[in-house]
Amino acid sequence: MSFYAARQPILNRDKSLFAYELLFRQSLENVFPQINDTQATAKLIEGLQFNLGLETLTEGTLAFINFTHDSLLDGYPLLLPKEQIVVEILETAKPGKKLLQACIELKEKGYLLALDDYEHQPAWRHFFPYIDIIKIDYKLSSKEQIQQIVDEAKAFPHIKLLAEKIENYVEFNQALEIGCEYFQGYFFSKPEVIKSIAFNPSQLSVINLMAEVYKAEPSIPKITAIFEGDVELSFKMLRYAQSPFFKRAGHIETIKQAIVMFGLIELKRFISLLFTAQFSQGKPQELTVMALARARFCENMVTMNNTSSEPSSAFLVGLLSLIDAMVDADIVELMDKLPISEEMKSTLISKQGESANYLKLCELFENAQWQEAETFCQQCNYALEPSLDNFQKAMLWATERVKML
């Protein structure tokens, strides 16, 4: 049986990855809300045990996993390793003696506990000694409600606050100021400030590589010369070529050997990976992962749907979809500076066309908007289950590629 998941990053104060919240669906019967929350939790655990597993999805970070009132009373969290999960108590849970006892037992066994979408009620104070994290829904909570939660938590200094649904840097800085330690939302995928952009020498080298490799007939000597003219890029290419991902007869000792070993398709992917690494410096690594996952997803959607589009062009559209956030610049100005086709520039600016549709679907999956994704697939005549499978594989592919670099 198929097993699908979206993962949403949770960052700490310096915007590095702290954990993922995992949002699961197992088979199309419960991609959408056709079963109750407790059944969904049971299937979630079954899927983790017999399908992908936590390590595959989270790459060794913590996994926030939702548990309902009944699933907590039934001890479902005990089926998963305490070192790898945060037990997220859903906002629908009712604070009572049985639930409190269940939380105490989980805490005694070493589990981390979080209250999801918290709205303060006096009864929850009895739980605070055993709670590690309180999640504040930044969209639904008023300033007064947020301040009340902050004030209530002060008496329990071990409790950390997590602001979720943070969608821009203004909200991030506000949450930072009130004392939140963790942040969930896609604020990091938006430009922090809009400024005029000037590229540094390594970025210019990568731009020149992009311009050459995406020509109808790329010149290997020119590509080799660009790499050899930049020590940092040469080192990264040789290290990447030595990764276990590639099967080779012997060691790679020259740039030209590496280029020949890669082949054109893999060379395009590697240069695209270099592009995201160079242009997202100083940004959360999750931004690079997201850009690569979108690129891979769009590329595979072209192949899956047997369209006349070029897969490598769709890959590039996905990759560049976050370029404005990477360099904090206006997307229109950036398109003027990048050596890509006018058609591709138009797609990225207007969000119209086949590749833009693939990008939109990927974004729906990122946000676990399952119902909207189903509707969108019907409108565009895409097969939903293979598209979900493509998304999950693209997400894992991107994580592996970033590790290799």
pLDDT of residue 27: 42
Residues 219 and 325 occupy one common structural domain = yes
CA count, 13 A, side-chain hemisphere, 247: 0
According to DSSP, the β-strands at 112-115 and 4-12 are unpaired
Residues 304 and 332 occupy one common structural domain = yes
**Residue 14, in any domain of the structure:** yes
Local structure of 164: helix, strand or coil: strand
The maximal CA–CA distance of the chain, rounded, in angstroms, is 73
Check which CATH number belongs to the domain holding 60 and give it.
3.20.20.450
Q: What gap in Å lies between CA 231 and CA 242, rounded to an integer? A: 17
Q: What gap in Å lies between CA 93 and CA 109, rounded to an integer? A: 21
Over residues 257-316, the pLDDT tens digits come to: 888 888 888 898 889 888 888 888 889 999 999 999 999 999 999 999 987 778 888 998
Residues 255 and 224 occupy one common structural domain = yes
Q: What gap in Å lies between CA 139 and CA 333, rounded to an integer? A: 31
With contact defined as beta carbons under 8 Å apart, do 159 and 153 qualify?
Answer: yes
Six token digits for residue 187: 């604020």
pLDDT of residue 29: 43
Residues 96 and 209 occupy one common structural domain = no
End-of-domain residue from the set 189, 214, 236? 189
Residues 230 and 110 occupy one common structural domain = no
**Residue 195, in any domain of the structure:** no
With contact defined as beta carbons under 8 Å apart, do 126 and 138 qualify?
Answer: no
Q: What gap in Å lies between CA 389 and CA 300, rounded to an integer? A: 11
The structure tokens 């849970």 sit at 93
How far apart, in Å, are the Cα atoms of 27 and each of 2, 46, 314, 358, 381?
5, 12, 27, 21, 19
Q: What is the residue range of 19's domain?
A: 4-189
Q: Which residues of the chain have pLDDT under 70?
A: 1-4, 25-53, 245, 247-250, 405
End-of-domain residue from the set 189, 211, 236? 189
Q: Which candidate, 382, 347, 352, 353, places its Cα nearest to that of 365?
A: 382
Q: What gap in Å lies between CA 341 and CA 211, rounded to an integer? A: 10
Residues 37 and 161 occupy one common structural domain = yes
End-of-domain residue from the set 189, 214, 247? 189
Check which CATH number belongs to the domain holding 308 and give it.
1.10.3210.10
pLDDT of residue 9: 95
Q: Which candidate, 83, 131, 89, 133, places its Cα nearest to that of 110?
A: 83
What is the number of structural domains in the chain? 2
Six token digits for residue 20: 């993922």
Residues 132 and 219 occupy one common structural domain = no
Return the sign of the alpha-carbon dihedral for residues 125, 126, 127, 130.
Answer: positive
Residue 65 sits at φ, ψ, to 5 deg, of -130, 130
Q: What gap in Å lies between CA 377 and CA 251, rounded to an integer? A: 45
